[in-house]
Amino acid sequence: MTAAPGTDDAIARRTDEIISGLIGLEGPLLPIFHALQAEYGHVPAAALPPIADRLNISRAEVHGVMSFYHDFRSHPAAAHVVKLCRAEACQSLGADQIAERAQEKLGTGFHGTSADGKVTLEEVFCLGLCACGPAAMVDGKVVGRVDEARLDQILKEVRA
């Protein structure tokens, strides 16, 4: 009997496969989290017990590691993720105003999702695009020189 995808059982089974593919690595935990997040868009709670079992660490430890890192989500993000750089080099070119405008337009703060449920807004501290800021990452794609017009265009595209 195969469990329906998305059920805890199915997630636990899939997690087990992912672990089997990575457990040969030295220090496999972060690669496992990355693989889960790539597959599910977040690290589902149902994935944690099998990780604890197979890596022979406590569930508290698994949870502790996961929650330490800003990247790993415990809940799915919206279909689109807009990350805005808030670090110094981008601030010197007006990133604060861009951040404010984005929050206003989306009706959400950072780490939140827009009222229409389409876009998750996140902050990031430096994308290595500091000579062409303000910088953003839109669904994994880097964007430089994000002025108001560019931001509006980005938001229009992800909300279309």
Partner 1 sequence: MKVYVPRDAAARALGADEVAAAVLREAKARGLEVTLVRNGSRGMVWLEPLVEVETGGKRVGFGPVTAADVAGVLDGTSKKVLGPVEELPFFKGQTRLTFARVGLTDPLSLAEYQAHGGLEGLRKALGLTGEAVVKEVTDSGLRGRGGAGFPTGIKWETVRKAPGPQKYIVCNADEGDSGTFADRMLMEGDPFCLIEGMAISGIAVGATKGYIYIRSEYPDAIEVMSAACEIARKEGVLGASVLGSGKAFDMEVRVGAGAYVCGEETSLLNSLEGKRGIVRAKPPLPALQGLFGKPTVVNNVISLASVPVVMAKGAAFYKDFGLGRSRGTIPLQIAGNVKYGGLYETAFGLTLGEIVEKIGGGTHSGRPVKAVQVGGPLGAYLPVAQFDTPFGYEEFDAKGALIGHAGLVVFDDTADMRKMARFAMEFCAIESCGKCTPCRIGAVRGVETIDRIGRGDVAAIPLLTDLCETMKDGSLCALGGFTPFPVMSALRHFPDDFTAKAKEAAE
> Which stretches of the chain bind partner 1, using CB under 8 A?
25-31, 33-34, 55, 64-65, 68-72, 87-93, 124-133, 135, 137, 140-145
In the chain, % helix, strand, coil (3-state, to 5) comes to: 50, 10, 40
Nearer to partner 1 by C-beta: 44 or 133? Answer: 133
Which two structure tokens, joined as six digits, stand for 33? 């989290």
CB of 30 to partner 1, least distance (A): 6
Q: How far apart, in Å, are the Cα atoms of 158 and each of 34, 82, 108, 139?
A: 24, 9, 15, 9
In the complex, least distance from residue 79 CB atom to partner 1, rounded to whole angstroms = 19
Note whether 10 binds ligand FES by CB under 6 A: no
The alpha carbon dihedral of 100, 156, 93, 113 has a sign of positive
- Which is nearer to partner 1, 59 or 107 (by Cβ)? 59
Q: Which is nearer to ligand FES, 65 or 132 (CB)?
A: 132
Can you point out the beta strands (E) in 25-118?
80-85, 112-113
Residues that bind ligand FES (CB under 6 A): 85, 87-90, 126-130, 133, 135
